[in-house]
Amino acid sequence: MTAEAAAIDSDEQWIERARLGDRAAFEGLYRAHSGRVYGLCLRLTRDVTVAEDCTQETFISAWRNLARFEGRSTLGTWLHRIAVNVALARARRGGLEVVPAPEEDEREEATRAVIDDDTPPIDVENAIASLPGGARHVLILYGIYGYTHEEASDMLGIAVGTCKAQLHRARRLLRERLSA
């Protein structure tokens, strides 16, 4: 059995038991999926404390709605859907786009001409965090987490065409910011 298939098997067993109120089983699901949920929350919200809240809210909401999980997608995708809703609802209600601090000028000496396989991950993360909201969300879902345009647009509540346009924009802005 491949690692992927084994993971799905244990998810299914845990879900069955969690649905019956088995909290230890739900904790197992949490342990298995927390990293990917937190990773998504952190990149969407760009704040550690808010991402922690978002992660907690996601799993609490998942517990309350386990009966609605029908297995049409994987549990991880379902959790991501919830996480996207939680993170974006917060950002929308807050009415604030919190802009990260501009990059320090010390990096001027270490500019690079092209983005390549040696571009440090932290540079890529910082550049993604500096993108405007719509473009950033699409790039995170499509580029990091591998969702299709149809899946990403559904999660974000936008049209597929908008999703593709936002991705195009994200790639262009990222190319500019990493080449500066």
Partner 1 sequence: MIKSYMAIAALLLTPLAQAEQPVEQRAPADPQGEVEVSSVSGLVSIDGWDRNEVQVTGTLGDDVERLDFVSDPKRNHTLIKVVMKTSSNRSHRDDGDAELSIRVPAASRLNANTVSADLSVSSVRGEQRLQTVSGEISSEIAAEDVEAKTVSGNVVLRGDNKPAVVTVTTVSGDAQVVRAAGEIVANSVSGSLNLGVDQITRARARTTSGDLELKGTLARDARVDVETISGEVNLDFKGTVNAEFEIESFSGGIDNCFGQKAQPTNKSGPGSELNFKQGEGSARVRVQSLSGEIRLCGK
Partner 2 sequence: MNHERTTSGNSHGDAVLRAVGRLPQAIEPRRDLWPGISQGLDQPASTRRGRFEVSWAYAAAAAVGCLALGALLSYSVMQRETASTVPTELVAATSNRPTVLPASFGRYAALGPEYERARAALVIGLAERLDRLPPVTRLKVESNLAEIQEALTEINAALELAPDDPLLRELLMNTYQDELSLLVRLNQTAGSLPART
Residues that bind partner 1 in the complex, under the rule CB under 8 A: 92-93, 95, 97, 102, 104-105, 108, 132-134, 154, 157-159, 161-162, 165, 180
Q: How far is the CB of 115 from partner 1 (least distance, A)?
A: 17
Say if residues 127 and 178 touch (Cβ distance below 8 Å): yes
Q: Which residues contact 49 (CB under 8 A, 6 or more apart)?
A: none
Residues with Cβ within 8 Å of 65's Cβ and at least 6 positions away in sequence, in order, are: 82
Residues 5-34 that bind partner 2 (CB under 8 A): 7-8, 23, 26-27, 30-31, 34
Q: Find where tokens 């098997």 sit.
A: 9
Binding residue (CB under 8 A) for partner 2 from 39, 69, 165, 169:
39
Residue 81 lies near partner 2 (rule: CB under 8 A) = no
State in angstroms the smallest separation of the CB of 91 from partner 2.
Answer: 8
The number of angstroms, rounded, from the C-alpha of 19 to the middle of its chain's C-alpha atoms is: 25
